[in-house]
């Protein structure tokens, strides 16, 4: 299928040398060895685990051929050539980290590893051609005294896995690094569309990768047709708008809509508005109400003294958008930084009892 060799931290690994390379290694190197053993096995599929952002993580089987095709599409989109360097700093339990390994094998990239952390570039002086990271890692890196210099050593930065704060987008305008945000999920084997965050192509719309077709379902959720998946039309849970040129905007998740007295409230838009007004991280969640059916409940994190500011911002919202229940606690997140809404709803339920 694909070349059976990979360059990892300056060492070339093949199926024949993998066992020797694996001996005594821990952390991300041990996880990488386990993944490569499965990738180079005779099985035509790989087990993948979803992130668990909206429910319990689940396992699925993906075709290795389709994963290789997805990796090749990414290499073409970013013009990655054999010998280019690529950073692996994401957990290998999920698709984002796994696809970095596949891209290195398929594209002949030189993989540079860093244990997943909030500041994966710290201590790395090498120039990196391609580095996928989650927003939390970029925010934490920029908070370091030399954080901007660390990111400047990256030629192309790909952000995925969570909401991109407008303040972060503005900070990224100052970098020479090309920055993109990805759209995709485990079921699409990583991203199938990209949005430029800075530079002359900066946009709020995602551009599908070549060959990817998009349309809306009757419920206004995004539907995808991805050639290498061979699954026909995939209906997502993301509400979207599609521009005449085929680019699209994600409005939020259909399961994040709160229907309060017949008024449909998009939770993610409400969260972003409250974050803009207060600087606080919040999750807006549906909560049972005896007459409205559902009302808005709010889970928020931050210093306790910020509560009056948050309550004032909530009071300025339209009537049905105002939370009728507020709970102060750290927001549950997946390993990729996405809000774990199912877990958040459990927290609110426990608070009620």
Residues with Cβ within 8 Å of 353's Cβ and at least 6 positions away in sequence, in order, are none
What does the CA dihedral 316, 277, 274, 265 come to, rounded to 10 degrees?
50
What gap in Å lies between CA 248 and CA 240, rounded to an integer?
A: 7
CB 191 within 8 A of CB 217: no
Q: Which domains does the chain have, with CATH numbers?
A: 6-209 (3.40.50.12780), 261-352 (3.30.300.30)
Maximum pairwise Cα distance, the chain: 67
Residues with Cβ within 8 Å of 7's Cβ and at least 6 positions away in sequence, in order, are 13, 104, 108, 109, 110, 111
Q: pLDDT tens digits for the chain (353 residues)?
A: 456 899 999 999 999 999 999 999 999 999 999 999 999 999 999 998 776 554 456 788 999 999 999 999 999 999 999 999 999 999 998 899 999 999 999 999 999 999 999 999 998 888 999 999 988 899 999 999 999 999 999 999 999 866 688 888 999 999 999 999 999 988 899 999 999 999 999 999 999 999 999 999 999 999 999 999 888 899 998 999 999 999 999 988 888 889 888 888 989 889 999 999 999 999 999 988 887 888 999 999 999 999 999 999 999 999 889 999 999 999 988 766 677 888 888 887 766 54
**pTM for this structure?**
0.83
What gap in Å lies between CA 207 and CA 219, rounded to an integer?
A: 22
């Amino acid at each position: 299928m694909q070349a059976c060799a990979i360059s990892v931290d300056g060492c070339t690994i093949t199926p024949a040398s993998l066992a020797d390379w694996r001996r005594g290694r821990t952390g991300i190197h041990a996880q990488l060895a386990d993944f490569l053993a499965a990738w180079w096995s005779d099985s035509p599929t790989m087990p993948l685990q979803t992130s668990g952002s909206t429910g319990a993580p689940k396992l699925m089987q993906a075709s290795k051929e389709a994963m290789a095709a997805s990796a090749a599409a990414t290499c073409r989109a970013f013009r990655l050539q054999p010998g280019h360097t690529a950073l692996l700093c994401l957990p290998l339990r999920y698709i984002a980290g796994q696809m970095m390994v596949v891209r290195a094998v398929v594209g002949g990239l030189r993989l540079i590893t860093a244990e997943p952390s909030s500041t994966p570039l710290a201590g790395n002086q090498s120039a990196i051609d391609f580095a996928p990271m989650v927003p939390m890692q970029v925010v934490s890196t920029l908070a370091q005294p030399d954080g901007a210099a660390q990111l400047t050593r990256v030629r192309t930065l790909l952000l995925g896995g969570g909401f991109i704060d407008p303040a972060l987008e503005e900070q990224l305008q100052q970098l020479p690094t090309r920055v993109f945000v990805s759209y995709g999920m485990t079921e699409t084997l990583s991203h199938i569309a990209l949005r430029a965050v800075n530079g002359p192509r900066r946009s709020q719309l995602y551009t599908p990768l070549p060959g990817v077709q998009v349309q809306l379902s009757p419920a206004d959720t995004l539907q995808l047709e991805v050639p290498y998946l061979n699954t026909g039309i995939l209906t997502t849970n993301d509400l979207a708008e599609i521009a005449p040129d085929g680019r699209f905007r994600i409005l939020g998740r259909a399961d994040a809509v709160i229907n309060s007295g017949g008024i449909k409230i998009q939770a993610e838009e409400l969260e972003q508005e409250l974050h803009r007004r207060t600087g606080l991280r919040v999750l807006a969640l549906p909560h049972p109400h005896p007459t409205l059916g559902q009302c808005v409940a709010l889970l928020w994190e931050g210093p306790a003294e910020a509560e009056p500011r948050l309550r004032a911002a909530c009071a300025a919202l339209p009537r049905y958008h105002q939370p009728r229940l507020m709970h102060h606690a750290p927001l549950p997140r997946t390993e990729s930084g996405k809000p774990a809404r199912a877990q958040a709803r459990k927290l609110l339920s426990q608070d009620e009892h």
